[in-house]
Amino acid sequence: MRIKWLENPNVDFMGKRRIAYVISALLVTVGLISLLLRLTPLGSFAGIKQTWSIDFTGGRLVQVYVQAPIDAVRSATLKMGIKAEIQNVGIANEYLIKYKENVEPDSLVKGLEKFLGKNVRLDRAEHVGPKVGAELREKALILTLVGLIVILFYIWLRFDILFGLGATIALFHDVIITWGIHSLFGFETDMTVIAALLTLIGYSINDSIVVADRVREYLGRFRLVDVSPRDLERIFNDAINSTLSRTIITSFTTFLVVFSLLLFGGPVLFNFAFILTIGVFVGTYSSIFVVSSLVLDWRLRGMKKRE
């Protein structure tokens, strides 16, 4: 089935860029506030629960084998007063239990046997200290920032500094909004969230490069000294519209995959799928309304200075 309005679209994206700026500013503000309250001591002072997982804060990791469904294991840990993160490790009835409470692995096993009425085999027990968790958290944040900076230099060399700055701002925009929505719901930030954010950065920059490449191609057909501000806005619109079908089809197929993971992937993949499900929309939006809009406004400002 052919989608007629995608065959020759003529949407005035750039004419709506100021509305997009307001929407982005609101979403980024909400995301930043959520992250500050959920992931920094500011939230603790306000009585809001921190949402770093034990990967970053320290705690215990216990792997057990018990012939019981995961919901029964989770219910048993709650009865013991343990708010645990429980994952199936791929083998039937083999579970990975992460928790912050000061409960020894042997005591956990005895408690599970009591409430489940089944034998429980302890296969692994580890303790992540607060110092190690803090180091992991610091390295994860540094890794994300380094990735963003490297991308800035790549786009700078590939296109120009304006597109590089626009793409980098868009990536910060995408990460803050997506991560902020995730934390707004009170979901824990673990290593899978960091992995999902890095995946989102790759997806988003790919979309931005496609749009930027088409904009550069369209700009190359004109001498910029002969182009009026209105013409420049039209060139950007034409370039974005020419990639619209590709953008929508790619985003939609990606959304189908990650949303399926969100629905059927279980708790192990939930954080990863949630970040990417939100990120697909945010990344697609930013490649049009953040990168292109910023570059257009910067070029328009440069034209005014030359007059």
pLDDT tens by residue, 121-147: 998 887 876 666 667 777 777 877 787
Considering only residues 88 and 55, tell me which one the structure prediction assigns the higher pLDDT.
Answer: 88
Considering only residues 16 and 39, tell me which one the structure prediction assigns the higher pLDDT.
Answer: 16
pLDDT, position 227: 72
pLDDT, position 31: 94
Reply yes or no on domain 9-43+132-306 having CATH 1.20.1640.10: yes
Mean pLDDT is lowest, of 22-26, 66-70, 152-156, 236-240, for 152-156
Considering only residues 238 and 268, tell me which one the structure prediction assigns the higher pLDDT.
Answer: 238
State the span(s) of the chain assigned CATH 1.20.1640.10. 9-43+132-306
- Round to whole Å and give the CA distance between 89 and 113: 20
State the span(s) of the chain assigned CATH 3.30.70.100. 59-128
pLDDT tens by residue, 21-30: 999 999 999 9
Considering only residues 87 and 50, tell me which one the structure prediction assigns the higher pLDDT.
Answer: 87
Is the pLDDT assigned to residue 162 strictly greater than 80? yes
The residues with which 122 forms a beta bridge, in sequence order, are 64
* Residue 229 pLDDT class (50, 70, 90 cuts): confident
| CB 124, CB 94: distance < 8 Å | no
CB atoms near residue 68 (< 10 Å): 18
Which amino acid makes up residue 56? Answer: F
Its pTM stands at 0.80
- Round to whole Å and give the CA distance between 30 and 177: 8
Is the pLDDT assigned to residue 1 strictly greater than 60? no
Is the pLDDT assigned to residue 103 strictly greater than 70? yes
Going from the C-alpha of 36 to that of each of 28, 32, 51, 53, 267, the distances in angstroms are: 12, 6, 11, 16, 25
pLDDT tens by residue, 29-78: 999 999 998 887 777 666 677 777 777 777 888 889 999 998 999 999 99
pLDDT, position 2: 46
pLDDT, position 245: 85
Q: Detail the DSSP E strand segments found in 29-182.
A: 59-65, 85-88, 94-99, 121-128
| Residue 248 in tokens | 């929508």
Task: Note the residue count of the chain.
Answer: 307
| CB 6, CB 271: distance < 8 Å | no
Mean pLDDT score, 189-197: 86
Mean of all residue pLDDT scores within the chain: 84
Closest C-alpha among 179, 242, 191, 251 to residue 9: 242
Cα atoms in the 13 Å half-sphere on the side-chain side of 191: 11
CB atoms near residue 240 (< 10 Å): 25
Considering only residues 219 and 173, tell me which one the structure prediction assigns the higher pLDDT.
Answer: 173
Handedness of CA 296, 301, 304, 306 (dihedral sign): negative
| Residue 190 in tokens | 């673990």
Reply yes or no on domain 59-128 having CATH 3.90.1640.10: no
Which amino acid makes up residue 236? Answer: F
Considering only residues 241 and 54, tell me which one the structure prediction assigns the higher pLDDT.
Answer: 241
